């Protein structure tokens, strides 16, 4: 597919632009280093995921702009028409609940967070990971992680893409998947809202994912595709 096809898939306007909304975390102090940062920080995995999407946007000749969750919430609540928006992360992103309430995401997948973080698809299949914030690196790497790449096309609202893993490596991997597999997503979604459920088998690697479910709003049933992708 061409850059024009990509522009159509991303729903880019004129001039073409894409807004990126990453979770923000409170500043921190580095023990023993003698300094602290009082502002907001971004997680490195979220940034890497955003870089993958930036590369995709550049292919379509689009500018990218980083916006805060508060800006995204304000725009959605005011029904503003603006450039397409990419939300990175789920529970960690303050804008995510507003996207859920203002879109048809719940008709594709739902997220729940307790001792286990879970993604449930429209067909009732659930994919879970123990709360990753409580797992050390060894335990997390040895678990199976899951993520979602979704495109939400709702009349009267800007197009919103969701790039969210249960854990950080899956979020990074979802950004990579969107960049590498947008042609397949465009073909299968046919311009409708969609969600692709990705699995990251242990040892969890952002470069290695499998799409285990593909759901879009046109069909009565969820379509399932299984495909293995190795490191580049």
Sketch the domain layout of the chain as residue ranges: 3-27+37-216
| pLDDT in single tens digits along all 232 residues of the chain | 676 699 999 999 888 999 999 988 666 656 666 666 665 667 789 999 999 999 999 999 999 999 999 999 988 887 656 689 999 999 999 999 999 998 889 999 999 999 999 999 999 999 999 999 899 999 999 999 999 999 998 766 778 999 999 999 999 999 999 999 999 999 999 999 999 999 999 999 999 999 999 999 874 444 444 444 443 3
pTM of the full predicted structure?
Answer: 0.88
pLDDT digit string, tens, across residues 89-124: 999 999 999 999 988 899 999 999 999 999 999 999
H-state helical runs in 63-207: 69-77, 96-102, 137-141, 168-189
- Rounded distance, CA 66 to CA 102, Å? 21
- Rounded distance, CA 204 to CA 143, Å? 7
pLDDT digit string, tens, across residues 34-44: 666 665 667 78
The burial class, CB within 10 Å (0-12 / 13-18 / 19+), for 31 is exposed
Name, in order, each residue with C-beta under 8 angstroms of 28's C-beta and a sequence gap of 6 or more: 36, 37, 41
- Rounded distance, CA 148 to CA 215, Å? 11
H/E segment holding residue 146 = strand 145-152
What is the per-residue pLDDT for 76? Answer: 82
């Amino acid at each position: 597919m061409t850059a024009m096809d990509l522009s159509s898939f991303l729903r880019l306007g004129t001039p073409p632009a894409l807004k990126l909304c990453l979770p923000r975390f409170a500043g921190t102090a580095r023990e023993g280093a003698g300094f602290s940062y009082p502002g907001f920080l971004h997680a490195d995995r979220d940034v890497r995921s955003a870089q993958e999407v930036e590369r995709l946007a550049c292919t379509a000749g689009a500018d990218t702009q980083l916006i805060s969750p508060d800006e995204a919430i304000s725009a959605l609540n005011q029904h503003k028409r603006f450039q397409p928006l990419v939300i990175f992360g789920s529970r960690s992103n303050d804008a995510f609940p507003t996207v859920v309430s203002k879109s048809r995401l719940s008709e594709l997948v739902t997220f729940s967070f307790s001792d286990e973080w879970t993604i449930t698809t429209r067909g009732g299949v659930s994919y879970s990971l123990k709360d990753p914030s409580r797992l050390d690196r060894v335990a997390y790497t040895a678990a199976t992680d899951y993520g979602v790449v979704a495109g939400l096309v709702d009349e009267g609202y800007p197009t919103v893409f969701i790039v969210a893993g249960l854990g950080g490596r899956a979020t990074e991997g979802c950004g990579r998947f969107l960049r590498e597999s947008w042609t397949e997503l465009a073909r299968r979604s046919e311009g409708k809202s969609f969600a692709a459920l990705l699995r990251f088998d242990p040892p969890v690697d952002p470069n290695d994912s499998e799409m285990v479910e593909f759901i879009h709003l046109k069909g009565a049933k969820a379509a399932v595709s299984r495909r293995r992708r190795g490191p580049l």
